[in-house]
Amino acid sequence: MPAPMLSNIYRLGVKELWSLWRDPIMLVLIVFTFTVSVYTSANSTPETLHNAAIAIVDEDESPLSLRIVSAFYPPQFVPPRMISPQEVDPGMDAGDFTFVLHIPHGFQRDVLAGRGAEVQLNTDATRMSQAFTGSGYIQQIVNGEVNEFVNRMRTNTVPQVDLAIRARFNPTLNRSWFGALAQIINQIAMLSIILTGAALIREREHGTIEHLLVMPVTPFEIMMSKVWSMALVVLLASALSINLVVQALMHVPIAGSLPLFFTGAALVLFSTTSMDIFLATIARNMPQFGMLMILVLLPLQMLSGGSTPRESMPQLVQDVMLVAPTTHFVKLGQAILFRGAGLDVVWPEFAATIAIGVAFFLIALARFRSTISSMA
């Protein structure tokens, strides 16, 4: 590019950064998105059972019932609280327990005699994720302890198929490891779309876009300034989030190269900011832009593979979402951060992201030029 053009792009970009600095609402959104949102998303509502409150009514007080009581321990359950039958309903009503296991009198006697032995499990189904997962856990624990007790020893029977499970990339199956990094990937795409479009809409509402029209700058320079400035903000915020929140605060290990990941992030930001400028030229004000964001952001986040695996989606949806830059960003981001992949593995996603970004940029530039011409 010629030096005057680069100078114009740089100075216009600095203007965008100063405008963002004077917008406290956007600054709060950026900070919240890459700090509180990342931390809470990684640690709240886990898919696996974690610290579930359980109480046990042990009317049998036999070796078998004591064995069952001792089988519940962290991190799946908090240490069981022993209560009386009269405390069950008040404790469930007050929300003190998610599960209450009732072992009746004569339970061990019935088990050893081969008679039908029953235990009662009361579950607080308002805590849906824990109730669904925990009920299955408790059933497995009780059945396992009963079978081992009846055999008088831990069974040494060799199964026909010996399944050895080895968890790669996350040996402890800690959901927060994946939740934190997945949230970073999602937020990069979301925030870039919001910031760039909001900046253009703000200029149109405040009338400053007319000032740019009388300056010796081109639509290409105006658009490039918005792309690089907002992309820079998102890259800096995500870099600080990964280093301070994910690694320093949550102690989440990162397997791959951060420079390679941020290179991919820069490419996808080129695509998403271009897409956002196109949407901002369609919307006439901020409320309209907000409605467009709902129609765009939800499919991008839900269907790109960041929330649910793409393999579980209909084939038509998988094919259509290949034109979305976030689909390729999620694939390369997960490969780099989770599995330590190098450029030799993720280069197809890099190439696809570049092609999509160039296409979106040219379409947005054509729309932006026509919008500028109609305002002149």
pLDDT tens figures, 306-321: 777 787 788 898 889 9
* Same domain, yes or no: 198 and 65: no
The yes-or-no verdict on residue 368 having pLDDT over 90 is: no
* Same domain, yes or no: 250 and 285: yes
In the chain, what percentage of residues exceed pLDDT 90? 18
Say what the pLDDT of residue 81 is.
92
Q: Which domain holds residue 219?
A: 3-44+173-375
The yes-or-no verdict on residue 14 having pLDDT over 70 is: yes
Mean pLDDT, rounded, for 260-267: 92
* Same domain, yes or no: 285 and 328: yes
The yes-or-no verdict on residue 252 having pLDDT over 90 is: no
CB 119 within 8 A of CB 50: no
* Same domain, yes or no: 199 and 263: yes
Closest listed residue to residue 195, CA positions, set 221, 227, 219, 218: 227
Mean pLDDT, rounded, for 339-347: 89
What percent of the residues of the chain are helix, what percent strand, and what percent coil, each to the nearest 5?
A: 70, 5, 25
* Same domain, yes or no: 40 and 58: no
Say if 159 falls within a structural domain.
no
Say what the pLDDT of residue 251 is.
84
CB 234 within 8 A of CB 188: yes
Q: CATH number for the domain including 142?
A: 3.40.1710.10
Say what the pLDDT of residue 117 is.
82
Say what the pLDDT of residue 83 is.
93
* Same domain, yes or no: 361 and 263: yes
Say if 166 falls within a structural domain.
no
Computed over every residue of the chain, the mean pLDDT equals 83
CB 250 within 8 A of CB 39: yes
| End-to-end C-alpha distance for the chain, whole angstroms | 26
- Farthest CA pair distance, the chain: 95
The yes-or-no verdict on residue 278 having pLDDT over 60 is: yes
Say what the pLDDT of residue 154 is.
46
Q: Give me the residue label for tokens 């960041």.
A: 306
Mean pLDDT, rounded, for 248-264: 88
Say if 160 falls within a structural domain.
no
Q: Which helix (H) or strand (E) element contains residue 316?
A: helix 315-320
CB 188 within 8 A of CB 233: no
* Same domain, yes or no: 192 and 306: yes
* Same domain, yes or no: 89 and 217: no
* Same domain, yes or no: 263 and 359: yes
Phi, psi angles (nearest 5°) of residue 259: -55, -40
* Same domain, yes or no: 178 and 105: no
Say what the pLDDT of residue 375 is.
57
Q: How many domains does the chain have?
A: 2
Q: Which two tokens stand for residue 213?
A: 């029209």
